[in-house]
């Protein structure tokens, strides 16, 4: 009898060890990796790195694998192909997937409704009117840089189809900065963190900081396929809790994101941080007006036939708010 009891105790101990090793120290059970694609190498990456360094993925029992793509269009292809589970990236490109009938997706969070980009033009251009007949670079057709550039040109009363030549440069800001310096292009959108590099070169002028323009535009947010949202709601809820706390940490512990930006070689880390922190949304419920502006910027006939409300699902964030999570986080 004693022999059997000892055997049972040994088996129980082994089971505990196995369960603990599978959990990896993250809680009662382990989760499969959640593959998150993004293309905002400056703004988005600094927020994700802050979440990671603060240990928030682990806190919410998540194993998030952040995968960088050098354009929103390529990120969209990865989402369609099932290579990633969600994208926490440029909203307009993902809206185009549903508008075009390629993939049914929903925005479950929107954490930035301003465009933290600057439009840089080569001298002697001094105003938007000087861009007529000039070469304007985007990353790829169908990418967020494409939609935002065309929207901005129309805001300036320029016709993107007739008044300028829009060309694909591929890649990220570094490629467009090199092209501007070399004179291969005449204008492009450049991210906040890379702005000092191009202005210090002396070749160019800043025609506009887009976050200062009166344009509410859903730029960054969490987009998931509808099928995945139905199947993995609890995981996505915890992802949104980690994101919300990550925004809180980003804004209340500036030393952490600033240190990350400095390690990444950002020249004006403090200035760049302040610009981003100012426009981060504390509780990232998607804003219908800002989503509609992003949808309108796509400009296709199919995009004109749908409404922003068809793309938004804020039920997970509604549940999180009802639970008192935000009040506990902010101490309100």
Structure-model confidence comparison of residues 19 and 266, the more confident one: 266
CA dist., res. 193 & res. 212, Å (int)? 16
Q: How many residues does the chain have?
A: 332
pLDDT for 208-227, tens place per residue?
999 999 999 998 899 999 99
The domain boundary residue, chosen from 174, 193, 212: 212
Residue 23 counted as domain residue:
no
- Residues 237, 170: one domain? no
Count of beta carbons in the 10 Å neighbourhood of residue 1: 5
Residue 19 counted as domain residue:
no
pLDDT for 13-51, tens place per residue?
433 333 333 443 444 445 678 999 988 666 668 899 999
Residue 51 counted as domain residue:
yes
Is residue 3 scored above 90 in pLDDT?
no
Q: Please state whether the peptide bond connecting residue 232 to the residue before it is cis, i.e. omega within 30 degrees of 0.
A: no
Residue 164 phi/psi, 5-degree rounding, is -135, 170
Mean pLDDT throughout 244-257? Answer: 96
Q: What is the pLDDT of residue 41?
A: 63
Mean pLDDT throughout 67-71? Answer: 84
Is residue 8 scored above 80 in pLDDT?
no
Q: What is the pLDDT of residue 324?
A: 96
Q: What is the pLDDT of residue 19?
A: 35
Total structural domains within the chain: 2
Instruction: Return the bridge partners of 107, or none.
Output: 223, 312
pLDDT for 163-183, tens place per residue?
999 999 987 888 999 999 999
Residue 9 counted as domain residue:
no
- Residues 177, 135: one domain? yes
pLDDT for 95-146, tens place per residue?
888 888 888 999 999 999 999 899 999 999 999 999 999 999 999 898 888 9
Residue bearing tokens 């251009």: 125
Query: Strand, helix or coil at 168?
Result: strand
CB 302 within 8 A of CB 276: no
- Residues 75, 152: one domain? no
Q: What is the DSSP letter of 286?
A: P
Domain that holds residue 125: 117-212
Mean residue pLDDT of the chain comes to 87
- Residues 232, 179: one domain? no
* pTM recorded for the entire structure: 0.82
Query: Strand, helix or coil at 135?
Result: strand
């Amino acid at each position: 009898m004693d022999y059997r009891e000892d055997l049972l105790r040994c088996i129980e101990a082994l089971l505990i060890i196995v369960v603990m090793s599978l959990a990896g120290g993250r809680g009662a059970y382990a989760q499969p990796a959640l593959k998150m694609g993004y293309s905002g190498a400056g703004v988005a990456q600094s927020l994700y790195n802050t979440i990671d360094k603060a240990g928030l993925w682990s806190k919410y029992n998540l194993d998030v694998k952040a995968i960088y793509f050098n354009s929103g269009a390529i990120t969209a292809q990865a989402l369609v192909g099932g290579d990633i589970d969600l994208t926490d990236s440029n909203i307009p490109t993902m809206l185009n997937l549903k508008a075009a009938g390629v993939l049914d997706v929903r925005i479950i969070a929107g954490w930035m409704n301003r465009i933290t980009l600057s439009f840089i033009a080569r001298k002697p251009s001094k105003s938007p009117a000087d861009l007529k007949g000039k070469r304007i670079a985007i990353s790829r057709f169908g990418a967020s840089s494409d939609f935002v550039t065309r929207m901005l040109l129309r805001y300036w009363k320029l016709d993107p189809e007739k008044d300028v030549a829009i060309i694909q440069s591929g890649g990220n800001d570094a490629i467009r900065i090199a092209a501007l310096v070399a004179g291969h292009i005449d204008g492009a959108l450049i991210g906040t963190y890379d702005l000092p590099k191009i202005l210090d070169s002396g070749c160019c002028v800043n025609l506009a900081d887009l976050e200062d323009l009166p344009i509410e535009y859903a730029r960054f947010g969490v987009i998931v396929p509808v099928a995945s949202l139905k199947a993995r709601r609890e995981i996505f809820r915890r992802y949104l809790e980690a994101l919300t706390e990550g925004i809180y940490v980003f804004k209340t512990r500036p030393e952490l994101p600033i240190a990350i930006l400095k390690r990444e070689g950002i020249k004006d880390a403090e200035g760049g941080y302040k610009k981003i922190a100012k426009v981060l949304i504390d509780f990232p419920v998607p804003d219908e007006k800002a989503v509609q502006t992003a949808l309108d910027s796509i400009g296709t006939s199919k995009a004109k036939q749908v409404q922003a409300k068809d793309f938004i699902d804020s039920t997970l964030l509604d549940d999180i708010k009802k639970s008192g999570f935000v009040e506990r986080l902010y101490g309100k």
